Amino acid sequence: MPVSEKLQNAWDKAENELIKSNNPDAALSTLRSLAWDSCEDAVQRAKTLSLAGNIYVIKADLDAPSRKANLKRAYKNYSNALKLDPKSKETLRERGKLTSIMDQEGISIGQSFQILDNGSPTPMGLLVGLVAILLLLSSVKVIADYAADSPSSASQATMQISYVPNGLDENSRTTATIVIDLYSEDAPNHVENFADHSRSGNYDATIFHRIIDNFMIQGGDFESGTGSGGYAHNWYGYCNGESEDSSSACPQTSWTVGDEANNGRNHVPGALSMAKTNAENTGGSQFFIVPEDSNPSHLDGVHTVFGQVSSGLSSVTDISNVETGDSDRPVYEVRLLSVVISA
């Protein structure tokens, strides 16, 4: 399908913001707010995602403290682009170059590999064994790396959310910044899960699919955007809420987090909490935030509160008031542009 003038202009604008203005954040914002909505087919969406990957690579070079997170976001965008356009030689080439860089820097891509086949080690299993030995020989570095990525190092999340205030139209779209303090000590697994999803870029460019005025705003379904998808980033011993000794019998798409709801944290205004089914231990990736005019105490001890808004709560309330349609879905998309985790 021919590229529309609007889409081409958005791509060109993002490129100029990146190259001439040296402003990758502005370039990413242009792709999210202008280019994506102008795409008319899978190939155009794939190119937009690939461009975002390129920008995150450059951003990684400019922002040393967030280099690892930005390289992972780049890889995520390239991979999503290839799901839409698997034959793109340019994207395959860029992802291959990025994979080499991440390998050299010891950055995990986040994929899982089969290390045993009918009880015998696979080539990947042998490699994993060798790596394990090397890691033991460099235990000091391993401990330091673990400390850097442990739940205790995730103390705050900063969200950028794009939305259309109630009563206005798409031309009045605005962006809010929400800062959330994370309860690493009270809900360590939930904080780790949320932080790892964020660092992997899973929440970037997703939507808040369910919003109920005077109650909450819900997002985090990075699979379908409907409320039916999402899963835990790591293995926490539960498969769709059922306790399992090993992850080997449970596909990753069924991984869930065990409840940490009885931690003394309640659903007060500004609470960040884990969404789940009515069953216990079924949290995955979805979450919700309580606005100023809500106090859903009936959820206390049932859903796990793992954070509290420290800045931008009025924006959460404004978002909770947006116009919605069927299934409490916003008429105009409420977009979670990014989540940045800081220690």
pLDDT of res. 81? 86
Indicate whether 163 pLDDT > 80. Answer: yes
pTM: 0.61
- The alpha carbon of residue 15 and the mean position of all alpha carbons in its chain are separated, in whole angstroms, by 24
Indicate whether 123 pLDDT > 60. Answer: no
pLDDT of res. 115? 46
72 touches 36 (CB < 8 A): no
**111 band by pLDDT with thresholds 50, 70 and 90:** very low
CA atoms within 13 A on the CB side of 24: 15
Q: Start-end ranges of CATH 2.40.100.10 in the chain?
A: 154-342
Indicate whether 321 pLDDT > 90. Answer: yes
- Angle at CA of residue 91, ends 28 and 36, nearest 5°: 35
Indicate whether 114 pLDDT > 80. Answer: no
**137 band by pLDDT with thresholds 50, 70 and 90:** low
- Domain 154-342 belongs to what architecture? Beta Barrel (2.40)
The pair of three-digit structure tokens given for residue 133, joined into one six-digit string = 């030995």
3-class DSSP state of 89:
helix
- 334 phi/psi in degrees, rounded to 5: -100, 110
- The alpha carbon of residue 202 and the mean position of all alpha carbons in its chain are separated, in whole angstroms, by 3
pLDDT of res. 150? 43
Can you tell me the mean pLDDT for 57-70? 89
226 touches 330 (CB < 8 A): no
**127 band by pLDDT with thresholds 50, 70 and 90:** low
3-class DSSP state of 335:
strand
pLDDT exceeding 70 applies to what percent of the chain?
87
- Domain 5-104 belongs to what architecture? Alpha Horseshoe (1.25)
pLDDT of res. 235? 94
Q: Start-end ranges of CATH 1.25.40.10 in the chain?
A: 5-104
